[in-house]
């Protein structure tokens, strides 16, 4: 083997000197922006001017990573002699991307939509009650996967059968894949669970349509304290499981965007 003294000299002097002479930076650093609200092709088009400048510079580089209910990741990667230098290369491009995408950027690196929402709710002293139909408890499962979720989440009512919507949540009898039902579910969840905020999801995951609504339809209802209810309908792609996963991040994103500033 290499004598200890020689190995020490190589590590301290010779190898760093060779790296400097070769011009080969020794550190690779990535910064990932988590986004939701636009397709990968839509993001690519929106960020085309930034992408063009990055291609001309050659360092950093940019990649899109479509990651299901983790969102679409926009990853900047830089090479430099040290971490501080790599971050200095990344920062101006990150600022440009954030300026272009605005509130579509919900987090950075290891953030998830549920971790971001939990932190926002906790900082505002708000509790959450869920009513889930199409997702069958997936929203609650994602939130309770985070340590400390009990500070915020009161519970989730999985009202999969229409009769449970009517009898437990007080939804008026009739078709159940629509915005008024989603709002009534959110109101019911807030009342039954004693939470500040009620969030509800109803929709059609497939394989066939329901109440005349096509597969991929998601209706979200949201009730905040001292505010008019909010509802929206979105059309989501994918097979049954993918649609359900996209429903989770879409509903939590509506809550994130609606939470008051401060």
Q: How confident is residue 24, by pLDDT bands cut at 50, 70 and 90?
A: low
Over the chain, what is the mean pLDDT? 93
What is the per-residue pLDDT for 260? Answer: 83
3 pLDDT band, cuts 50/70/90, is: low
pLDDT band at 261 (very low <50, low <70, confident <90, very high): confident
> What's the confidence (pLDDT) of residue 155?
98
What's the pLDDT at 93?
98
Contact call for residues 189 and 164 (beta carbons, < 8 A): no
Over residues 37-92, the pLDDT tens digits come to 999 999 999 999 999 999 999 999 999 999 999 999 999 999 999 999 999 999 99
Residues in Cβ contact with 25 at an 8 Å cutoff, skipping those fewer than 6 apart: 79, 80, 81, 85, 86
User: Beta 197-203 vs 230-235: how paired, if at all?
Assistant: unpaired
Q: Would you say the pTM of this structure is higher than 0.85?
A: yes
pLDDT of residue 106: 98
Residues 6+ apart with CB under 8 A from 145: 114
Confidence band, pLDDT 50/70/90 cuts, at residue 2 = low
Q: Which two tokens stand for residue 116?
A: 């971001």
């Amino acid at each position: 083997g290499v004598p200890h003294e020689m190995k020490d000299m190589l590590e301290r002097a010779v190898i760093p000197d060779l790296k400097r002479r070769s011009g080969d930076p020794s550190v690779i650093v990535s910064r990932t922006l988590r986004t939701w609200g636009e397709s990968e092709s839509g993001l690519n088009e929106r960020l085309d001017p930034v992408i063009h400048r990055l291609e001309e510079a050659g360092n950093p580089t940019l990649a899109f990573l479509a990651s299901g209910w983790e969102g679409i990741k926009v990853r900047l990667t830089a090479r430099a002699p040290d971490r501080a230098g790599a971050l200095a290369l990344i920062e101006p491009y990150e600022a440009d991307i954030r300026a272009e995408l605005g509130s579509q950027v919900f987090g950075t690196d290891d953030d998830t939509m549920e971790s971001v929402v939990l932190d926002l709710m906790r900082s505002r002293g708000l509790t959450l009650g869920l009513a889930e139909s199409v997702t069958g408890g997936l929203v609650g499962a994602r939130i309770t996967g985070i340590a400390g979720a009990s500070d915020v989440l009161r519970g989730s009512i999985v009202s999969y059968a229409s009769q449970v919507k009517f009898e437990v949540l007080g939804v008026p009898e009739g078709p159940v894949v629509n915005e008024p039902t989603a709002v009534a579910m959110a109101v019911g969840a807030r009342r039954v669970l004693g939470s500040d905020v009620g969030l509800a999801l109803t929709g059609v995951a497939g394989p066939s349509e329901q109440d005349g609504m096509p597969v991929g339809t998601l209706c979200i209802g949201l009730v905040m304290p001292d505010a008019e209810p909010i509802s929206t309908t979105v059309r989501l792609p994918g097979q049954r499981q993918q649609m359900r996963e996209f429903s989770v991040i879409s509903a939590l994103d509506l809550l994130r965007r609606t939470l008051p500033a401060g």
